[in-house]
Structure 1
Amino acid sequence: MPRTALDPLFTPTDAPGGFTERHLAHLIGATAAAVTVPRFLDEQTCADTLAALERLPTAAYDLERVPTPIVRFGPSLNDYRTAAGGLDAERYWRDAEAARVSWQRARLRPDPVALSLARLGTAWGSAISPATIGGRPVFAGTLREINEGALLHYDDVRREFPCRLFDQETVAQLAFNVWAAVPETGGATTLWRHRWDPADEQHRYSYGYRSKTVEHCQQVSLRPQLGGALLFNPAHFHEVQANPGQRRIALAYFLALTTTGQLITWS
């Protein structure tokens, strides 16, 4: 079999000095695999976030839709997608408001969501705003415990909600994670240099895809680090390795570049 040529730009970048505009631009343009920032949160903030999770209302994903157990705090828009590709608005806004109240009551100081958004906004050069639907800001900042892995999949709100969900028009999407608890082994995030193609649907499995989808594709794997942050373009197929018997807990949300050059956020 002929050797597959590698893309020299599809590599991870370690940024101990923090995220920069250049990092975000390369990820948006898909000319980088990922950017990691070690010690993005200090150990005390991680411990406080972990303690807060014990006080916050959490729920597991429906195993019929997500076959690997994942527990999370905070609503994700995908959980409220209807069969027709719309949003179950009544249920979403009820849960979003409840999560917002619960997060405020947790009184995390510093607030890791606000802190991370402020740093990313500084890197981009303008503040990051919540995405809005009908003028209402959506919820951003879920806490997710993924110990048994996540299926190979991609994320693209424009495909997930093809009728256009947000008031803002988006052109590219990024995914942000920062870890409050990490396993000693396992739990790596693997990214493949592959974006969705209609032919991939033959390999569909539950919400994700079978490994044959990315067979022979270039890949990078990144192990979580306590307090470390990861930013990547989730249009690239990705999965999370299992870490049985250990805890892997991350604060997560999405960002998108709009046609007006602003960054918006949601979960």
Structure 2
Amino acid sequence: MDVPAFTGRHLARLAGGTLAAVRVPGFLGPDRCRAVTGALDRLPTAPYDPGRVPTPVLRFGPALNDYRMPGGGLDADRYWAEADAARAAWERAAIRPDPVAHALDRLGEAWGAPAVPATIGGRPAFGGTLREINAGLLMHYDDINREFPDGLFDQDVVAQLAFNLYVSVASGGGATTVWRHRWDPADEDYRDAYGYQPRAVEGCQYVELPPHLGDGLLFDPAHFHAVAPNRGAGRRVAFAFFVGLTSGGRLVVWS
């Protein structure tokens, strides 16, 4: 669904599973996108470990799943050190307009209450990673309650959404595809590195969402999803975070 602005109803329908994705074209205007991308060289970026993520992806900022230990715990010392370093680097970069703050403000307005960081032992999780994905991503899913089954946040998250804001796009390709399929134990027969082979979703309904400059996109990442490689010139750069709906009806954010 393409809409002029996110609303609380959109978030509720996504959380309830009756809507696949909501996209706001021009969520950030082209001049603002160019201002943001022109300042990105002030941020320290690094690639993922190719042993874990076989397609090259540049990123800024820590994502909790990258610090998950065998058994489901969090490598807290490493995570908090890198979260603090990322916050300091973001402050030094002073990117204006601030695309993450803009997104959080709009989502809070839609919900009628602020979108605030999820907390772990009272400490706010980092939210707002930058990722440059030009060669695509394998099909996978994201679900904080499966990734950390013993619980991680001080808040109980009952639904999880993924937000992406595209500040640079290639001339073709780079679409996010979302399938009407959630993880099932039988899917492990199709495991491929951090993701899954296409056979896991054969016959499933899907929606394909090509990126456009300035788009803001929300979808349910517990559904299997993938990113196609770019075709043509340009970089596919997006700011991303997760939005959790808590049992108390609040919105919390993390990456």
User: Which residue number corresponds to residue 137 of structure 1?
Assistant: 124
> Residues 173-213 of structure 1, C-alpha deviation per residue, up to 9 Å, x if partnerless?
00000101001110000010011111111111111000000
Q: What secondary structure sits across from 1:254 in the alignment?
A: strand
Q: State the 1:108 CA deviation.
A: 2.0
Q: What secondary structure sits across from 1:184 in the alignment?
A: coil
The one-letter code sitting in structure 1 at the alignment partner of 2:26 is R
Q: What secondary structure sits across from 1:230 in the alignment?
A: strand
Q: What secondary structure sits across from 1:14 in the alignment?
A: coil
1:189 counterpart = 2:176? yes
User: Which residue number corresponds to residue 11 of structure 2?
Assistant: 24
Question: Which is worse superposed, 99-108 or 169-178?
Answer: 99-108
TM-score by length of 1: 0.93
> Residues 105-144 of structure 1, C-alpha deviation per residue, up to 9 Å, x if partnerless?
1112221111110100100010011000000001000110
1:12-91 matches, within 5 Å, as 13-16=1-4, 18-91=5-78
> Residues 1-41 of structure 1, C-alpha deviation per residue, up to 9 Å, x if partnerless?
xxxxxxxxxxxx0002x001111011000101100000000
> Residues 127-182 of structure 1, C-alpha deviation per residue, up to 9 Å, x if partnerless?
01100000000100011000000000010000011110111111010000010100
Question: Which is worse superposed, 161-170 or 49-58?
Answer: 49-58
User: Which residue number corresponds to residue 262 of structure 1?
Assistant: 250
1:141-152 matches, within 5 Å, as 141-152=128-139
1:250 counterpart = 2:238? yes
User: Which residue number corresponds to residue 101 of structure 1?
Assistant: 88
Q: Quick one: distance in 2 between partners of 1:15 and 1:202? A: 38
Q: What secondary structure sits across from 1:220 in the alignment?
A: strand
User: Which residue number corresponds to residue 110 of structure 1?
Assistant: 97
Q: Quick one: distance in 2 between partners of 1:246 and 1:83? A: 38
Unaligned 5+ residue runs, structure 1? 1-12
| % same residue | 62
8 Å CA contact 2:14–2:21 kept in 1: the answer is yes
Q: What secondary structure sits across from 2:39 in the alignment?
A: helix
Q: State the 1:260 CA deviation.
A: 0.2
The one-letter code sitting in structure 2 at the alignment partner of 1:252 is A
Q: Quick one: distance in 2 between partners of 1:165 and 1:66? A: 24
The one-letter code sitting in structure 2 at the alignment partner of 1:249 is V
TM-score by length of 2: 0.98
1:113-262 matches, within 5 Å, as 113-243=100-230, 246-262=234-250
Q: Quick one: distance in 2 between partners of 1:142 and 1:66? A: 16
Query: What's the C-alpha RMSD, in Å, of the aligned pairs?
Result: 0.9
Q: Quick one: distance in 2 between partners of 1:69 and 1:28? A: 31
8 Å CA contact 2:36–2:97 kept in 1: the answer is no
Q: What secondary structure sits across from 2:86 in the alignment?
A: helix
Q: State the 1:216 CA deviation.
A: 0.5
Superposed structure 1 runs of 4+ greater than 2 Å apart: none
8 Å CA contact 2:180–2:224 kept in 1: the answer is yes
User: Which residue number corresponds to residue 4 of structure 1?
Assistant: none
Q: Quick one: distance in 2 between partners of 1:20 and 1:91? A: 37
Q: Quick one: distance in 2 between partners of 1:141 and 1:125? A: 21
The one-letter code sitting in structure 1 at the alignment partner of 2:96 is R
Q: What secondary structure sits across from 1:255 in the alignment?
A: strand
Q: How many residues align?
A: 254
Q: Quick one: distance in 1 between partners of 2:33 and 2:163? A: 16
